[in-house]
Structure 1
Amino acid sequence: MNTILSAEGLGTLAYIFLVFLLAGTVKGVVGLGLPTVAVGLLGIVMAPREAAALLIIPSLVTNAWQLAAGPGLADLLRRLWPMLAAIVAGTLAGGALLPPGGAAGAGAALGGALMLYAASGLAAFRLDVAPHAERHAGPLVGLATGLITAATGVFVIPAVPYLGGLRLERDALVQALGLAFTASTCALAAALLLAGQWRLHAAGLSLYALAPALLGMWLGQHLRGRIRPALFRRCFFAGLLALGLHLMLAPFIR
């Protein structure tokens, strides 16, 4: 990222643009996937923490868009605040425990997280969370999500399957996902700031990534009515599975 004006840097800019365009399109079609796709593809050319730094502004803005689409924000906050607080605590704790340069196996850990998420999606795995279990399960899920977020920059496991098991209506589920993603993004930004890994150049690139992410969301929303959502989701998860496998194997084949 320090060679941004060189030929190599211009190639990186083009790659970042295309990655966030694709990630935004996926989010526009299925309602999630921007951080997962973006960090996964950026993880091919940079460390997961560097990829996560680029994610901050696009994730915050697109999740604010997603939050505004639902009707019951106050009720969801009252219900989900223990999980959200645990996400923040887990992310900050994980960020403090990880070495400043990132763990040597961070890329493999990112690949493993992507494969786990993709496998659960392809298998149509669905949790069924009983109402009486939420009080204890929510904080545990939030803490695990935060630790994985700090290590990989991906905040879908186990928060997304857990929220899917709460029997929420579709609009409420979309809004709940937006809440969880917003909490994760804010906590990740704080962890990166505390570690000195979200400086001016990273913030500038993150702002640059916002335009293709928003364009991709707009394209995805227009594509939603023209493609079969079930087929698109299968292709999405199959692509994530292949990407995760590549990231896991890359340290051993270089």
Structure 2
Amino acid sequence: MQMEIEVAAAAVFVLAGVVKGVIGLGLPTLSMALLALWMPPAAAAALLVVPSLVTNVLQMRPWSSLGRTLRRLGGLQVGIVVGTLAGAWAFDGLASEIAAEALGVALVAYAAWGLLGRPVEVPLRHEAWLGPLCGVVTGAITAWTGVFVLPAVIYLQGLRLERDDLVQAMGICFTTSTLALGAVLLLQGRYPAAAAGTSVVMLLPALAGMALGQWVRQRLPLAVFRRCFFFGLAVLGGYDALRAPIASLVSSST
């Protein structure tokens, strides 16, 4: 049974890597959505730490512009760390009894924004306070659900960065979120050595999927792929959000 679980997890990371290779994000989001179908959110988050960290560090290139981007996004990164630690303390993080439902709601919200949301624009004069605020909110959501994207990705797209700068900025934010989430799991004693070892193993399918995704990106219309991705997230998120209440309702009526 353990071997079957690891094979299924590897398949998840291949698929999530493909998504990241095509659109530059989605590996932890899709991994959490799929892994949470058969394991607790805290266990799913423990598996994605190494694949998410390594693939996002690779996304932070080119190194020549890293310092400039970090200086602009420093407040956002501080906010992410503070929000993740505070969220884990306030909500008991991914160990919360409603963590799966919270994950589902976050996935549906992200999918709705991806499918229906309009571009926003962040004025330069507001970055000093809005960046840290978005970071804190993103960190709190990360601590509760394991999803790194809201509202940080919306904020980053509102900065009107060039495509390569935006990809690098997302890599920086996702790396910070991964490190902060990993620290929370360690502090809470929810990142055992076995999970760390399996997480390292999952790096290989994630990298293979990412390479495949970069190949697919050259052959598939990006808009079509994005719509399929967000629609799939909406379905998975809806399932995660509703399965516990439905199961409770069914059990109470029998």
TM range, normalised to the smaller chain?
Answer: over 0.9
Aligned counterpart in structure 1 of residue 172 of structure 2, from 179, 183, 198: 179
Q: Secondary structure at the match of 2:121?
A: coil
Aligned counterpart in structure 2 of residue 189 of structure 1, from 182, 188, 191: 182
Provide Cα deviations, 1:132-185, integer angstroms capped at 9, x if missing partner: 111110011000000000000001000001000001000000000000000000
Aligned twin of 2:61: 68
Aligned twin of 1:241: 234
Distance in 2, matches of 1:116 and 1:62, equals 24
Aligned counterpart in structure 1 of residue 159 of structure 2, from 166, 177, 185: 166
Identity of aligned residues (%): 51
Provide Cα deviations, 1:215-238, integer angstroms capped at 9, x if missing partner: 000000011111111000000000
Aligned twin of 2:85: 92
Aligned twin of 1:27: 20
Asked if 1:50 is matched to 2:38, the reply is no
User: 4+ residue stretches of structure 1 with deviation over 3 A?
Assistant: 98-101
Distance in 1, matches of 2:117 and 2:245, equals 31
Aligned counterpart in structure 1 of residue 141 of structure 2, from 138, 148, 168: 148
Asked whether the 8 Å contact 1:58–1:210 carries over to 2, the reply is yes
Aligned counterpart in structure 2 of residue 38 of structure 1, from 18, 31, 45: 31
Aligned twin of 1:3: none
Corresponding pairs, count: 247
Aligned twin of 2:252: none
Shift of 1:100: 7.5
Distance in 1, matches of 2:203 and 2:86, equals 28
TM-score by length of 2: 0.94
Distance in 1, matches of 2:68 and 2:101, equals 38
Asked whether the 8 Å contact 2:22–2:217 carries over to 1, the reply is yes
Distance in 1, matches of 2:209 and 2:216, equals 10
Aligned twin of 1:5: none
Asked whether the 8 Å contact 1:100–1:195 carries over to 2, the reply is no
Aligned counterpart in structure 2 of residue 201 of structure 1, from 194, 197, 207: 194
Distance in 1, matches of 2:93 and 2:174, equals 24
Which structure: greater helix fraction? Answer: 2
| Structure 2 unpaired stretches of 5+ | 248-254
Aligned twin of 1:125: 118
Rate the CA distance shift 1:225–1:46 in 2: closer, same or farther, 3 A: same
One-letter amino acid of the structure 2 residue matched with residue 109 of structure 1: A
TM-score by length of 1: 0.94
Asked whether the 8 Å contact 2:123–2:159 carries over to 1, the reply is yes
Shift of 1:99: 3.2
| Structure 1 unpaired stretches of 5+ | 1-7
